Amino acid sequence: QVRLVESGGGLVQAGGSLRLSCALSGRTLSTAFMGWFRQAPGKEREFVSAISWTGRTYYADSVKGRCAISKDNAKNMVNLQMYNLKPEDTAVYYCAVGRGSDIGEVKGYDYWGQGTQVTVSS
């Protein structure tokens, strides 16, 4: 059974940094396509970043230059380092396992974690 557990969220001031982590079980990370999405109150879930089984990375325009996704195949973990955070980055952040198609779409992902809250104060 595939399971994802996010961690690392919290409250941070604008301009600060956070590192989110996602622990994957039930699936080998080296063959998985992984993504991060976020959902703010009253808004749809939106794509943030993704990393392929080969390590190719993808970023939404809204976070490009302020995020770095990485993975540790040995630990079966995916990390999302976020810099220069803005109040509009406030959301619940979700980790997901995808198929490598529809990369920026929720429909491209089959398994989801419970999310971790990120709150950026101005």
**pLDDT tens, position by position, 58-90:** 999 999 999 999 999 999 999 999 999 999 999
- Both tokens of residue 46? 């939106």
Compute the distance between CA of residue 41 and CA of residue 92 in angstroms, rounded to an integer.
Answer: 9
pLDDT at 89 (0 to 100): 97
Contact assessment for residue 98 and residue 108, using Cβ atoms and an 8 Å cutoff:
yes
Residue ranges of the chain whose pLDDT lies below 70: none
Q: Kindly write down the DSSP assignment for every residue of 92-112, as one continuous string.
A: EEEEEEE-SSSTTSGGGEEEE
Compute the distance between CA of residue 79 and CA of residue 6 in angstroms, rounded to an integer.
Answer: 9
pLDDT at 80 (0 to 100): 98
Q: Which H helix or E strand runs over 3?
A: strand 3-7
